[in-house]
Amino acid sequence: MSESRVVEHRFAVILCADVVGYSRLMGIDEEGTLAALKEVRRDLVDPKIAEHRGRIVRTMGDGLLVEFNSVVDAVRCAVAIQLAMVDQSGDTAPDRRIRFRVAINMGDIVSDGDLIYGDGVAIASRMEALAEPGGINVSRAVRDQVRDRLPITFADLGEHEVKNIARPVRVFRVVLEEKPAAPSSTAPRRAAAPLDRPALAVLPFQNLGGDAETQFFLDSVAEDLITELARARWFSIVARNTSFNYKGKGADSKQVARELGVRYVVEGSLRKAGSRVRISCQLVEAASGQHLWADRFDGTLEDTFDLQDRITESVIGSVGPVLRGAEIERARRKPEAEQDAYDLTVRSFPPTFAETPEDNEQALGLLTEVLETAPCYAMANALAAWCYQQRHLMDWPGAQPDDRETARRMARVAITEGTDAPLALALGGAVHAALTRDHDFALAALDRAMMINTNAAVVLGFDALTRCICGAYDSAIEHAEKALELSPLEPLVYHAEFALAFACLLCGRAEEAVAHARKAIEANRNFVLPYCVLAAGCARLGHAEEASQTVRRLIRAAPNFRLASLRKIRFADASRLQSDLELLRETNLPE
C-alpha cells in the first residue's frame, strides 16, 4: 500500500536565485561554467544558506529555491552571498563571471513532502526575474519586516503584474552599494555600483467639462503612455493601479513626489467644445514643480484611436530626450563626493557624443571610474565602446593600438548584459557592426532593442546606422525616417539623419543624400562621417567645388581623418563604396 502524502498550507519566507545569462555562459564554455558554478555553490552559497538556517528546497541547474524560517536570516544570507560574489569574481573576464539574481518574498505556500508551491513561490520567482545582475529584490512585506532591524536601505521599483496573481506586487531593491564618503585625500574617488533608475508617474488626465465617454478616452491615453514609457527601460514607471489612485484628487506634483518617490510626473487635461477637444500635456520635475516640456493637441473624438496614437507618439518622442537632459543637469549639480555610477554615466553622455578628442578623454575618464566598480553595467560599457571606437577611427591623441579590441569587447558586454536596455543594445550593436564582421550578432542586438522599444528616436537612429553598415539600406531608411518624425527634440537624432543620407547615397538618391548630410552636419559639426557623404554626393551631382570645400571643412574638424579611416569600418557592402572612395580621393581627402 502506497504511503499517502500530507499536503500542508503554511506561511513561509522564500528565496529564489538563478545565474545571470546561464545559457550564454554554457554556450561559451559548458564544462568551465559547470565547474565554476559547482565551486561557487560548494565554497560560498551552500555554506551561507546553512549558516543562516535556510533549507534548500530544490535546485534547477542554474537556480535555487530556499526556504527560511526568519525573514532577517533570508535577507542577511542574500546580502552576504551577493557581496561575496563581487570578490569571488576576481580576475575573471566580465562576460564569463558567475552572477546571481536573487529575490525574497513572504507568503502562503503549499508543502507536499519536501517540495513547496503556491503564490509565495510564484511571486518570489517573478521578482527574481526583475532583479538586476548581482542584485536582490524583495516584496513590500519583506521590506517592512527588516528595514528597522537591519542596516539596509531599499529602492522602490514600483508595482508589477504577476501572472495568476490578482493584485500587482510592489517590488523593492536592496541597495548593496555604499555612498562614497567625501574624499579626505587626493586619491581618486571610486564610483559606486549603479543606483536605481529615475522614477516617473503618469497621472490620470483631468477631464475639464467632458462626459463619461471623454473620461474613458483620457484614461486610455494615460494607460498607453504608461505602457510606452515603460519600454524605454532606463527610467522606472509607476504602475497604473498606483498612479490612478490620484484620479479626481487634484494632487500636485510635490505631493506625488513625496508619496510615490518619483522625480518626474506626466500630467494633462482635456477641454471639450462640441465634438472638438483640446488636450494639454506636460512633463514636470516633481520636487520643484518646474515644467520641463509641454504641448497641446487638437482633434475630435470621431476617430479616438488616431488622436490617441498621435498624442502617445508625440509624448514618447519628446519625454525621453527631455528626461535625459534633465537627468544630466541633475547629475552635474550633485556634489562630486555624492555622485554614484548612475550619475557619472549620465554625465558622460554629452562628452561621449561631442566628437572631439578633449571631450572623448573626459567621457572615458567618467566611464572608467564607473567600470572600475561596475564592470558589467551595460550602458557604461556601451558608451565607453563608442568612445574607444571613435578614438580608433579618428586617430585622436591618446589612441592606443588595442582601442579597436577594447571597443569590440565592451560592445559585446553591453549587448550580453543589456538584454533589457534598448539604448545599450542599439549602441553596442552599432559599435560591434562597425568593428567586426559578425554583423548577425549586431543585428540580433538591434532586433532585441526594437522589440523592447519601437518608439525611441535615439534607438531608431543607431539602429538605422547599424543597418547601413550591414547593407540593409531599405530598413535603415525606414527606421531613420521614423526617428526623425518621432522626436525633433532628440539631440542625438543626427545619427538617424546621417544614416538616411548614407543609405540614400548608396541607393542612387544623391540629392536626398546631400540634403540629409547637410542637416546631420548642422546638428554636430564635429561628427565627421556626414562630411564624407556630403562630399561624395556633391561629386556625384557634378558640384565639384562644394565637394572640395566639404573635404576642407572635414579636415579642419578632424585633421587626422583619412580615407584609411573609412576603411577601418567593416562595411558589409565595401565593394559598393569603392566609387565613392575614389570620388573622395579626387576631392583631395588624403589617403
Q: In the structure, what pLDDT confidence band is assigned to residue 107 with cuts at 50, 70 and 90?
A: confident
pLDDT at 23: 74
pLDDT at residue 91 is higher than 70: no
How does the average pLDDT of the chain come out, rounded?
A: 84
Q: What is the pLDDT of residue 5?
A: 55
Which residue's C-alpha cell is 571610486? Answer: 190
Q: What is the pLDDT of residues 230-261, one digit of tens each?
A: 776 667 788 777 888 888 777 777 787 777 77
Which is more confident, 347 or 115? 347
Q: Read off the pLDDT band of 185 (50, 70, 90).
A: very low
CA distance 98 to 211: 57
Among residues 550, 569, 570, 560, the alpha carbon closest in space to that of 591 is found at 560
What mean pLDDT comes out for the span 33-62?
Answer: 89
User: Binning pLDDT at 50, 70 and 90, where does residue 162 land?
Assistant: low
| Cα-based torsion angle of the residue sequence 227, 228, 234, 240 in order, rounded to the nearest 10 degrees | -20
CATH code of domain 337-586 = 1.25.40.10
Determine the CATH number of domain 199-331.
Answer: 3.40.50.10610
What fold characterizes domain 7-174?
A: Alpha-Beta Plaits (3.30.70)
What would the pLDDT profile of 6-17 be if each residue is shown by its tens digit? 667 777 899 999
**Tens digit of each residue's pLDDT (9 = 90 or more) over 276-327:** 888 899 999 887 888 898 988 888 877 778 888 888 888 888 888 888 888 8
- The band of 227, judged by pLDDT with boundaries at 50, 70 and 90, is confident
What's the whole-number mean pLDDT along residues 391-404? 91
DSSP annotation of 288: T
At residue 244, the pLDDT reads 84
pLDDT band for 193, please (50, 70, 90 cuts). Answer: very low
Domain ranges of the chain: 7-174, 199-331, 337-586
Please check the confidence at residue 178 and state whether its pLDDT lies above 70.
no
Q: What's the pLDDT at 365?
A: 94
Mean pLDDT on 476-492: 89
| Model confidence at 21: pLDDT above 90 | no
pLDDT of residue 186: 36
Is the confidence at residue 117, as pLDDT, over 90?
no
| DSSP code per residue over 531-586 | HHHHHHHHHHTT-HHHHHHHHHHHHHH-TT--HHHHHTS--TTHHHHHHHHHHHHH
